[in-house]
Amino acid sequence: MFGDLVIVDDVPGEFTERVIEAFLARPDDTFALSLSGGDTARRCYERLADEAGTQIDWWKVDVYWGDERCVPADHPDSNYRLGREALLDRIGVANAHYPMRCEEGADPYQLRVGELGKFDLVHLGLGADGHTASLFTGSEAMNADPGRLVVFNEDPSGRNRWPRMTLTFAGIARARLVIVTVMGEDKRDALAAVARGEDVPGARIRGTRVVWLADEAAAGDLSET
Ligand code: 6PG
C-alpha cells in the first residue's frame, strides 16, 4: 500500500496525537485541515475536540471538507453537520471553515483549493467497499480530468446515498499529510485489498505522506506482516 500502516488499539487517540503533531510542525501560520465523513471520523473528532486542549490554537486552523452529501447543512447525513457537532461546536472557534455547498457547483471549491495550494492534513476514511471520500469504484470521479481538484460524483452501485461533492485524487494529493483511519472487522477485506494493491479507490490515495491508522480488527492478518 502507498504509505505507512500503523496498527493501534486506540485509533481516535492516535489520530488526535498526530493531528496535534502536524499542527505544531506546520510550515505556515495557518493549518489547513480537511475533514472526512463517517462514524470513524465522528469518533476521531470528538476525541480531538476533547483532548487537543490548548495544544492546538484553533484560531490558526482553516477547516475544509474532503467530501459532502448534497443535502441541507442540518440534514442528519450532512458531513458539514458531522464536523460541526463532533468538532467545531466543541472547540468553539476556528479561523475559518469552508463547507462544500453543492448548490454553488464544484468550481468555487475548486478555486478555493487551488488558491490554498497545500492542505496540511487531509483526513479520510475507508468504506467496506474500498471507497474513500466520495470516490467510489466505477464512478466518474475515478477518471476525473487531471486538472480537477473537486468534482460532483455518485456511487453507481447505489450503496452510498446522495449525490456528492468530493475532492478528487488530485485534490487529496495536495496534502502534506493524509491520515486514513480504519476501524472494525467490516473493513478488513477493504484494507487487505488496498494492501494487495488492488485497484480500489482507497489504493489510489496519495499525498506527500500517507499514514493508515488501523485497529487490529480492521488489520487482521496485516498485523503479522
Ligand atoms: C462519507 C465519508 C466516507 C467515509 C467512509 C468510512 O462521506 O461517506 O467521507 O468516505 O469516510 O465511508 O465511513 P465509516 O467510518 O462510517 O465506516
Does any domain span residue 125? yes
DSSP annotation string for 38-87: SHHHHHHHHHHHHH-GGGS-GGGEEEEESEEESS-TTSTT-HHHHHIIII
36 belongs to a structural domain: yes
**Does residue 210 lie in a domain region?**
no
The answer to the question of residue 130 being in a domain is yes
Write out the three cell numbers for 38.
463517517
Which H or E run contains 107? helix 107-116
Residue 225 lies in a domain: no
Tell me, what's the pLDDT at 225?
60
| Angstrom distance (rounded) from CA 204 to CA 206 | 6
Whole-number Å distance, alpha carbon 169 to ligand 1 midpoint, is 16
pLDDT digit string, tens, across residues 65-115: 999 999 999 999 999 999 999 999 999 988 899 999 999 999 999 999 999
Total domain count, the chain? 1
219 occurs within a structural domain: no
* 127 ligand 1 Cβ < 6 A: yes
Nearest to 61 by CA among 20, 102, 101: 20
- The mean pLDDT value for 25-49 works out to 98
CATH value at residue 63: 3.40.50.1360
Closest ligand 1 atom to 187 CA: 17
DSSP assigned state of 104: G
- Domain span at residue 192 reads 4-140+157-196
**Does 220 map to a domain?**
no
* Any atom of ligand 1 within 6 Å of the Cβ of 125: yes
Q: Ligand 1: distance of its center to the CA of 117 in Å?
A: 25
Q: Which residues pair with 62 in a beta bridge?
A: 32, 96
Per DSSP, the three-state class of 97 is strand
Q: Is residue 50 part of a domain?
A: yes
